[in-house]
Amino acid sequence: MLRDNFGREFHYLRLSITDVCNFRCNYCLPDGYEGKPDQAFLSLDEIRRVCAAFGAAGTRKIRITGGEPSVRKDLPEIIRTVKATPGIEKVAITTNGYRLPEVVDEWADAGLDALNLSIDSLDPGVFKAITGHSRLHELLDGLDRAIALGIASIKVNAVMLRGLNDKQLAPFLDWIKNKPITLRFIELMQTGDNSEFFAKHHVAGEQLRQWLLANGWIQTIRAVDAGPAQEFYHENYQGRIGLIMPYSKDFCSTCNRLRMDSTGKLHLCLFSDTGIDVRPLLQSDEQRDELIEFLQNQLLDKKVSHFLQDGQSGGTRHLAMIGG
C-alpha cells in the first residue's frame, strides 16, 4: 500500500488523459482552452502501465479526468483497459457531459462503474452564463440515460458561486427528491489565474452543512476509497447531498488520492508546485516494480496540507490542468 509520512494510505488515483476542454466555465477556463491539443498525451500502453503499477500497489479506484476526457476518441478503450487492470475495483469518470446521450452507452459497455457530471445550475440561462454553453437539456438527458443503464454510482457536481447559483438550493433539492444520485456542492478554489473571481464569488460550505444537519440530513460514514466529500442522506429524499469544502479544518487529514496528469507527471497534491515526471518509467512492462518504488519514495515528500487556507495555490493555474 502506498503511504506517506502522515499515515495516509492512497487507494485512489485521478488519472488525466488530456488537458483539452471544450467548455468555457468562468471559474476554470473563461477564455477557453489555450494549451496545445497536439501535445503528446499518455498513450494507451502508458496508461495501462500506470494503472498496473497503482493496482499492484494497493490502489482500488481510478477516476479518468481531463480537461474533458471525452475529447479523446479512444476513451472507451481507455475505460476498458483500466477496468481490466488487476486490483482495480472501480473505474470512474468526471465529464462536462458534452454529447453524453450519444456516448454513455459505450462507456457503460466498456465497464464504467461511476459517473461524475458537472451541472452548476438547473436554470438554462445561469448554466450558460457559467459554462458558455446552452447544453443543459443534453446533460440532463444523458444523466437519465446513465441512470437507466444502471451505472452504480452517479454524482452531479455544482461549484458554489456567490451571485450566480448560490440561491438555487430549493430547485436542486426538488430535483433529487426522486432521483438516485448524489448532488455535490463544491467550494470554489483559488488557483493561479482566478484570484479576482475567487474573491468575488467564493462561498463557504459550512453554512450549508449546518442547514442540512438542522433539517434532518444525516452524515454518512466515508468509504475507504471515497473522495473528499462529506455526504448526507435524508429519509424523504432518494438522492443524497455531498459537500466538498477544501477550506474546512483538517480537510487534508483524510487525503487518499494521488494524481497523474496527461503527460505523465505525478502530482502529490492538486495544488503542488510542480509535477514529477514518471514517463521514463512507463516505456516497458518490466519497469512496474521500479515505478512502484519510485512512487513510494516520492510520497515521503507529500506535505501535510494543500495550504489553500494560507492563500497558496502552488503551480495550479486552473483546474483543467490536472482534472481537479
- Taking 3-state DSSP, the helix, strand and coil percentages for the chain, each rounded to the nearest 5, stand at 35, 20, 50
How does pLDDT run across 86-143, given as a tens digit for each residue?
Answer: 999 999 999 999 999 999 999 999 999 999 999 999 999 999 999 999 999 999 999 9
Where are the chain's structural domains? 12-175+187-218+245-321
Instruction: Report the pLDDT value the prediction gives residue 246, as an integer from 0 to 100.
Output: 82
How would residue 189 be classed by pLDDT, with cut points 50, 70 and 90? confident
Give the chain's mean pLDDT.
91
State the average pLDDT over residues 62-90. 97
Name residue 242's beta-bridge partners. 184, 231
What is the Cα gyration radius of the chain?
A: 19
State the average pLDDT over residues 232-237. 97
Q: Which three cell numbers stand for residue 121?
A: 445550475
- Report the C-alpha dihedral over residues 177, 243, 194, 39, rounded to 10 degrees: -90
Instruction: Please give the class, per CATH, of domain 12-175+187-218+245-321.
Output: alpha beta
Q: Which residues contact 260 (CB under 8 A, 6 or more apart)?
A: 13, 14, 15, 16, 42, 50, 266, 267, 278
Residues in the chain: 324
| Selected residue with higher pLDDT from 274 and 176 | 176
The pTM assigned to this predicted structure is: 0.92
Instruction: Report the pLDDT value the prediction gives residue 186, as an integer from 0 to 100.
Output: 94
